Structure 1
Amino acid sequence: EELKAREQSFATQRQQFSLGGQWQDVEGLKEQLKDKDEAILRLQVEVQSLREKNGSLEQNAKQLKLIITTLQTELEKHKCVAVTTAAPPLKVTPTNHELDHVRKELAKKEMELEKIHKEFEPTRKEAETAKAEVAENKLQVGALEAKVSELQGFLAKERAQTRAHNLRTEEDKKKIQDLNRQVKEMEQILKRNHPDSISALILTANSEGSEASPRFKYLENRVQQLEQELSKSETDAQVGVREIQDKFHSMKLKYEEHTSDLELQLASAKHQAHMWRQAAEKNEARLAAERKAEEQPIREMKQNKKTAAPPMVITVGAPPANALAVREDAHLLATIRGLKLELAAKDKDLLKIRRDLDESTKTNRRLQRERERQLGVVAPTRPPAVRGAAKQEQVSETSQWSGNKVYDPAQFEPSIPGQKEGVERLEQENGMLREELLRLEEDYRSLQTKRLQDLNLLQKQHEAEMGRLISDHMARHSNSRIADLQGQLSTQQIIISHLKDQLKQLDEYREEIEVLRAERDHLEKSNMDLRKKVSDFRSMQTPEMLQYEGLQEKLSELERRHEAREQKLQAMVRDLLRRNTEQRAVTGDNRSATTMKEKLLDKNRQLCLYRAEMDRILETLREFNRHQKSGSTVQLAPD
């Protein structure tokens, strides 16, 4: 308990004599906590070892009690046997000696156990008190750490504020320089352009420090309102112009897309017309070949007329191929009918096709007329007998392909109405195609006229809107040249007043900057003075300071020695535990207990020496403090 009291007094005095602030108190408390934790660990190790010893001793005591009970039972048996046999009294046997020896050992073990319990009690109390002190120290450390964190946060805030203030001052300096430059430029421009104008007079009046009149304020407000209205009207006009331009562009894009579509359709129609032209040329070549084939038998027939007998027999070749031509023309027209919607602007090609068809119909009609004329010459002069004979001759001469045949007009009469119907059908289809072509041409012309009308209308609307906007703008903002000049003058006055306000703010900022500079200079001077004092104190090196430094060195050396001792003690405790476990198997528990006691006694002696040395240092510190207050010197005690 005395050692504890000394430790507490030493801790309090050390806190009193510590030169640092709260941070040093926190460090000292942390070191004390570490010391206490180490002491608690050592005491826990000792308690563990003592508990193990106590358990082993209790086991030995139980074994000895069992041995004693067995020996007592044997002794009673021997007594009973002796009484029954009336033998002489028993002599002390070796078993009795063993029993006495065991009883003595048991008594010794009980005494040792009681001593260990007595020694264990103060260590247990010390451990409890150390735990309580550790808890209190932890609470103190937590409070101090909270204070330190608060101070650190406040310091960080102050630093951030100073940094922001420095940035603001730099920005203000830049603004001040820029505004001064602008003010000088504006004043120079006004003086140079209008030396005798109202603005120059206003500048002189403002420079003299005269305050603005209510009329001037009213004019400034009016100018601001007019500027706002002007900006609004300009924005509205810009929005209207943008809308009109957007509409114009959208219409333009739409018509461009429409024209591109029409051009694509025209190109496709041209391509198809070219294909049809090629087909028509092929048709024409085929019709010419057929025409030649039809004319050849007529020529042969004429030659046969001249050389033939009185019954005129007309020789013809193969039957006419007009039906095949009509079928092919019908197929061609069917294809044309299927693609007639794509013949929008192709009048020339269709006219060519119509001409080709007209020529083919003309040739067909011409051939029909010639054939009818020839048939009309031969048919009335032929009697029925001759007609029958001709039929018989024709039947007899069927084997000859190019030979003479009897001409029968009944064979060719049914073909004439079919050809007429085909020609009429072709003419009807040509008329339908012609009407469709005219209709498509009219649609295309109407689209072109509509597009031109829309473009003209849009252009007229755009011009009217622009004229309206220009007239509105001119009506609002161009009453007279005087109004423009007054507006310029008022704007310049507003700019000058704004610049003056900024100059006033800059003057205030300058004053604040000067105050801050003065404070900074004062702090720098005080810092320099303190540094000079510290350097003077270090240069003087009085005996008191030397003594104080020597005491500090001794304290640091003692702390180092204390840490070294603690490390040695921890190593010794570990070594003891290891040896304890090894010696239990080899030797008994008595030797381990004695070695533990000796080591504990050595440790207590070292602690007493350390505390006595610390008490001596504290006494010297007290004397040093007392003599420092009185102004005299003190001699240090020898180590």
Structure 2
Amino acid sequence: MLFTLFFAFTWENKTFLYAHVYTHTHTHTHTHTHVYVCICTYLFVCVFPDSVMASGQGQSIAMGLGLGMDTLEEELEKASFFGHLEGGASSTIDYSRLNRDLDSSTTTITPGQRLQLDQKENELHTREELPLQHNTELSSLRQENYLLQSKLHIAEEAKNKCRWHLGLCNSLDPLTEKKLQEIQKEVKQQETLIRGYQQENEKLYLQMKALQAQSKLNEEAMFTENQRLVNELTSTKEQLSKSTLPRTVQNIGCVDHIQRITELQRQMEAAQENQRLKQEKQALEVDLQMMRKDRDLAKAHVVNSSGYFELQIVEDRYKEEVCSLKKKLQWYAENQELLDRDAARMRTATAEIHKLTEQVEKLKMEVGKKDNESKLKQRTREAKRIQDLERQVKEMEEILKRRNPNSLTALIYAAANSPALDEGPSQTTVLLERRIRKLEAELESHNDEAKRSLRAMEQQYQRIKLQYEQQISDLEQQLAQKHQDQDLAQSAGVWEAQVHSLQDELEQLKETFQSRENILQEKVHSLQVKLSKPKPEKAPQHSPSRHQQQAETALGVRIERLNQELSAKTRTIQELSRTVERLQRERRNMPPGPSLRLVAKQKLVVPKGPVFAPGEREGTVGEGGETAAFPPTHDEKDYQPKVFTGSHISEVLLENERLRLRLEQLEHKWDEERVALFQEWSAEQLSSLKADHQREVERLLTQISVTHSSSKVAELTNQVISQEVRLHIHFRDQVKELQTTKDALAVSKLREDTLQSQLTRLLEELKQAKECHSPELRHFTSLERKIHNLELRHARREKELQQVISQTRLVLETEHQSELERWRSLAQGKTRELEVFRLELDSILDVLRELQRQGVVIPPPDQGSSLPFTWRT
């Protein structure tokens, strides 16, 4: 029979295991073998971390038993071995023989066994290193446990007192409310402290900034002082080097001294001359200022006399401002290309950075997967090992529980079965938070890119706008230049030639239109004759009458079209006649200037005139029909022979040739435009004729359907057509009324323009009359203008002040809102911390309830020293 008893005690953080083995055999009665084993506590903690219960700071740690112990079969073998040893020996153990046996056994160890021993030693070393790592974690956990246990003891004391004295289980609610109130007070105190620390930090930050600025100023002053001292040192060194020259150079020094004296005399004379010139300059400046004052007075007088000069000055100033602003816009537009290139480079760089970060994340994920796989493998191995050890522990605990049900190991077992606290955030929440941050960063980058693109588009729009404005101004200048060239290029017979050409064209148009009108009248007459003839009787068949009706409708459409063409031609003839009359009136009303002087001279014959060239004579004969003379007129200027002395006849001929080519180009262009207008007009006429033809065909179809059918649909269509005709007449009347209203509106606009011009003229006369008044009245008007200007400036300043006030109000509101958001986030953080603390307290209370449910009786604090823990079964 074999019995094994285990006893454990703790001293200086080490657990000593005492095993007392009782063996009973047939040959021996009782044999006592004492085996002492010393095992470190931290190794036990490493192997069985779940079976440890901390009871406070400074207390010993109670642990489970059975660390490093063999199974029951191995214990039996050990007992039999020691029994055989004691059977063959005396009452005292021969340790020398045992040592010899051990030496012999060590010599007989095989290399495989030695490798196994080395592996076991390495495992032992790793096991010894693991507890060191766990000890650091345990120290932090002990501190947290100590804090939680202190709070737990306070809650337990209150609970036990209420339970022992009053016997009520629901007395924790007011205590928890009081505790929450105390916690809220502590949180408020912490917030006030944080606010005070924040204010103190801001003050210190401002002081630090001031000190930094002061230090920078001191550094600059020190640097300038050092530079000055260095310059003085170099100058003193140069003076010393000059003074330490050898005495043999005294004669040369005298010559240099004389030269220096002469140079100083020249400098003195130059200084006197400069002084004299400065005095003259001052006198000239005084004269110039006087002249400027006189000029300003003259300008003021001119401005008072006429406001055109002032307007010109203001216009010049505005033009300068516009030019400067355009230059600024052009500079911004030109620099926008550089900004676009920089933005493109930044985008490429950010894209590369994103790619690299994605690659890094992928590599991290791969490394993490590999680590997780290795950790999973290691965890599986550790789980198997833990299961084996737990199985051994359970076996030992079952043995101890059967022998001593109220032992400490049972309490440890019960504590091990208690639910653990909630862990930190899961991996999915971490991944989601990371994804949210990434999306926020992408959104910000997209917003920045959109802003940059919008700014680039705006700059591009400004650049294009400037280009178009520049082009428009250039074209306007070219157009003005062309107008000037045309005015200069108009010779004596331009107007007469234009009038003759228009008259010839009008005669041709009259002839063509008259011929067309005659032809159309003949056609109309013939058609009327055909229509007036009696119609043949209708054939019994339906098809000939239909063809006859179609021919009649076609003839009616053609007659209407020809009438419309005739009316259009008559209108064009009337318009052309009106234009000719207008041109003739303008020609009669124009003053006989230098451009029309030759036109008036062409009506007379020159008995004695200069000899003309053949081309000139032909041109005059072709245009006027007779030669023109040059009699003197009342508005002719005196002859000045030196006007065209600087120009050669070749230059004049070239200018004449250029003007002739330009005239031919303009005539060709005018012909092209006239042809284009005629084509457009003919296209419009054709489209209108097609529309009329379509309408007439539809009308004839409806008429045929009405005549050849007596159904309800035909009657309704007839009603619709009649309604359309009435509407057409009504709309035509409305168009006529609209035309009359348009004419009245034009007349009223013309009247308004005339009244506006009269008003401006009267205002100018009033202004001139005011200027012609006495000096007191002029002073009064100037004061009125100044007061008006002051009022305008005051209003502008008020507007600017209102804008500044609104901007400051917006800034303050935004700052206040940000401050509120910050304090709100702080309050939310505090509430989250309170929720976490409340959850921890709830978990601790759940652990206590579980212990109570399992039968653990926790004594009150005053009886904790006398009453031990008990286990209810």
User: By the TM > 0.5 criterion, same fold?
Assistant: no
Give the number of the structure whose alpha-carbon radius of gyration is greater: 1
TM-score by length of 1: 0.20
Q: Give the structure with the higher percent helix.
A: 1
TM-score by length of 2: 0.16
